[in-house]
Every structure is written in C-alpha cells, then in structure tokens.
C-alpha cells in the first residue's frame, strides 16, 4: 500500500437525522478501499441531488397554483432529463415562490453552500473536467 493510502482518514461526522440515509457512505469511509474518499464524495453528491429532487417534487405536488396537468408535464420533464443539476432544482424551488433553500436550511446552509462552492463538483460533472481537491481541509 502506498503512503497516500496509509494516511489517516478524517473522522466522518454525520448528523443524527442523516445517519440512516448516509449509512452506506459511513461504511465506505471506514473501508480500506483506495478510492473511498472519491467514492464517498460522489455518493454524497448523488444523495444531495436526490434530496433536492424530492424536495422540488414535494413542493410542486403541494403547490396550490399547480394543477394535475402541470404536474404531469413536470413529471415528464424530470423523467426525460437526467441533466437537471442542483442549481436548476434550487432555481425551480425559488420560482415556486416558497422560501429559498437558504431559509429552509437556516444556519446549515452557510456551511453547506461554502463546501459546495469549494468542491464545485456540479461544474466538474457538467463540463467533464477532473476534480481538484485544492484547498481541501486537512486533519
């Protein structure tokens, strides 16, 4: 095993309400797999996108000004378009006239948005550029 793989992994801290949702990531993080860091990051990103899709759909289905016909059209668009990135879903949530994501998440949004900006994984996935872990926290 090379020196990079021997480095001690940072402790993964998962808030209590998310322990079940992130159990797979926690198991992956504790493994000896060489790619566990990248795998955990990508799986976390997928879960982030999934939760945004769920929230968007929930808000669409509950919205008082959106009828069944519009909901059917929305479902068709979502099903046909695998390229709906988090920014699109966040903009859609804001267009629905509900509270912005930052208000819904409160203080947690500050930390999340800073980390998302630092990682900028969405842009890398859209453009096909390689992921840089510059400025990553150490410890």
pLDDT at 119 over 70: yes
How many separate domains does the chain show? 1
Answer with the residue of higher pLDDT: 136 or 103.
Answer: 103
In-domain check, residue 65: yes
Q: CA triplet 62, 68, 70: central angle to 5 degrees?
A: 90
Looking at residue 138, what is its pLDDT? 41
121 — pLDDT class (breaks 50, 70, 90): low
In-domain check, residue 7: no
pTM: predicted TM-score of the whole model, two decimal places: 0.65
**Residue 125 region, left (φ>0) first, then alpha (ψ -120 to 50), else beta?**
alpha
| Residues 60-66, mean pLDDT to the nearest whole number | 87
pLDDT at 99 over 50: yes
In-domain check, residue 120: yes
In-domain check, residue 8: no
Which of these ranges, 14-23, 72-81, 120-129, has the smallest mean pLDDT?
A: 120-129
In-domain check, residue 37: yes
Looking at residue 19, what is its pLDDT? 87
Based on the number of CB atoms within 10 Å of its own CB, is 77 exposed (0-12), middle (13-18) or buried (19 or more)?
exposed
Residue 27 lies in domain? 14-127
Positive or negative torsion for Cα 31, 37, 38, 39: positive
pLDDT at 2 over 80: no
Please, what's the b/e burial string for 84-94 (b: 16 or more CB within 10 A of its CB; e: otherwise)? bebeebbebbe
Looking at residue 105, what is its pLDDT? 80
- The most confident of the ranges 13-22, 33-42, 96-105, 123-132 is 33-42
In-domain check, residue 6: no
Looking at residue 122, what is its pLDDT? 57
């Amino acid at each position: 095993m090379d020196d990079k793989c021997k480095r001690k992994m940072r402790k993964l801290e998962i808030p209590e309400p998310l322990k079940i949702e992130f159990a797979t990531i926690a198991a992956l993080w504790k493994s000896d797999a060489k790619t566990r860091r990248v795998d955990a990051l990508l799986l976390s990103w997928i879960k982030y996108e999934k939760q945004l899709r769920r929230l968007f759909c929930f808000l669409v289905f509950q919205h008082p000004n959106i009828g069944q016909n519009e909901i059917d059209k929305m479902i068709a668009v979502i099903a046909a378009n695998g390229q709906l990135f988090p920014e699109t879903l966040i903009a859609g949530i804001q267009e629905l006239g509900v509270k912005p994501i930052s208000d819904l998440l409160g203080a947690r949004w500050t930390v999340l948005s800073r980390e998302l900006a630092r990682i900028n994984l969405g842009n890398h996935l859209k453009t096909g550029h390689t992921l840089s872990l510059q400025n990553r926290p150490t410890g």
